[in-house]
Amino acid sequence: MAAHISIAGFFVPRCRTGHRARALASQGIAAPKKEGEEEKVKLGGSDLKVTKLGIGAWAWGDTTYWNDLQWNDRKLKDAKGAFDASIDSGITFFDTAEVYGAGFSGAINSETLIGRFIKERKISDLNEIAIATKFAALPWRLGRQSVVSALKGSLSRLGLSSVDLYQLHWPGIWGNEGYIDGLGDAVEQGLVKAVGVSNYSEKRLRDAHSQLKKRGIPLAVNQVNYSLIYRLPEENGVKATCDELGVSLIAYSPIAQGILSGKYTAANPPTGPRGRIYTPEFLTKLEPLIARIKEIGLSYSKTPTQVVLNWLLCQENVLPIPGAKNAEQAREFAGALGWRLSDDEVAELRSIASRTKPVIGFPVEKL
């Protein structure tokens, strides 16, 4: 796929040539400062620059979907390890939400945890990290003022005076225009550097973009479910519209909630709520794809997780935010950067993946 150059120790994807590009080390190019470090990218038309891959923090403190529905000190230590290891590996963009880890017994709010981790690490220059969080468009929240008010709650939990990116977590059932106005207000009040949406269809994306544009504010991102085995954004016009409008596509669940790491099989399916989505039957159908991902990974000395994250990076204008529960997982993500699959491999993986019907996504994508 891409020929690459290294500028000041950074890996810079340059142009598609059709030839396989190897990891920098094997090309004898000067090693970057950290494994696979790549230049930061601007989010959409905003001035906010973030690492080409972020870390998702949904699982931190959560007892509704992750962590076998229980939170404890060991998991807390692991989450802190993931935060620190990400930064040590050069990944400094974190994605959370006000609803992650909220409300259920034993849960700790993910924003609160991130606030703690930032303090404990004694980060002297907060510009070195970028925090994204999200507004929950709950049906009883009406109007633009609800956005700024919820954002202030998030800032208080995070212990920050502003966040880098604020996103509407899903479209509102009503009052959506008010929410978009609220995003604009948050920018004008200096509470956020950039704003975005999540789970927005092509039409809603266009509407949000044009409403903000009237105030001279760029819609920076649309965060949607996108992975090798969940390619709805390629089919429903969302990816093409992001590219057309200059909106960055943030890919959530980029390793299909751990399934594409290859560690789950029909004989060893995931436990908890994930097990109801990724059934042994589904995992059996996925076997040829996982086998090919592993083979390709071996040829680059990369793990399956690194291959599937790289597949997303190859789509251009896509920024994956895999969730890491511990330091080891976070470190592995860094190895997805600094190299690219070839065009042929990207196409072959898409073709094998298309033989398996995707699982059902978050219904709000269709609102």
Ligand X SMILES: NC(=O)c1ccc[n+]([C@@H]2O[C@H](COP(=O)([O-])OP(=O)(O)OC[C@H]3O[C@@H](n4cnc5c(N)ncnc54)[C@H](OP(=O)(O)O)[C@@H]3O)[C@@H](O)[C@H]2O)c1
Smallest separation, CB 51 to ligand X (Å): 15
Residues near ligand X, by CB under 6 A = 56-59, 95, 169, 198-199, 223, 252-258, 261, 263, 305, 321-325, 329, 332, 362
- Length of the chain, in residues: 367
Q: Closer CB to ligand X, residue 4 or residue 172?
A: 172
Q: Which of 208, 221, 251, 253 is nearest to 233 (CA)?
A: 251
Q: Closer CB to ligand X, residue 169 or residue 292?
A: 169
Q: Closer CB to ligand X, residue 4 or residue 302?
A: 302
Q: Closer CB to ligand X, residue 2 or residue 168?
A: 168
Whole-angstrom distance, CA of residue 265 vs CA of residue 261: 10
Q: Closer CB to ligand X, residue 2 or residue 199?
A: 199
Smallest separation, CB 71 to ligand X (Å): 14
Smallest separation, CB 17 to ligand X (Å): 30
Smallest separation, CB 131 to ligand X (Å): 11
Smallest separation, CB 203 to ligand X (Å): 18
Q: Between β-strands 93-95 and 130-135, what pairing exists: parallel, antiparallel or unpaired?
A: parallel
Smallest separation, CB 154 to ligand X (Å): 14
Q: Closer CB to ligand X, residue 6 or residue 279?
A: 279
Beta bridge partners of 76: none
For ligand X, which residue has the nearest CB?
56
Contact present, 97 and 58 (Cβ < 8 Å): yes
Q: Which of 90, 81, 142 is nearest to 117 (CA)?
A: 81
Q: Closer CB to ligand X, residue 29 or residue 232?
A: 232
Task: Match 């560690």 to its residue by tokens.
Answer: 263
Tokens matching residue 102? 């909220």
The phi and psi torsions of 286 (rounded to 5 degrees) equal -80, -10
Active site residue 179: no
Q: Any residues with CB less than 8 A from the CB of 360 and at least 6 apart, and which?
A: 277
Beta bridge partners of 93: 130
Q: Which of 65, 100, 179, 278 is catalytic?
A: 100
Catalytic positions, written as ranges: 100
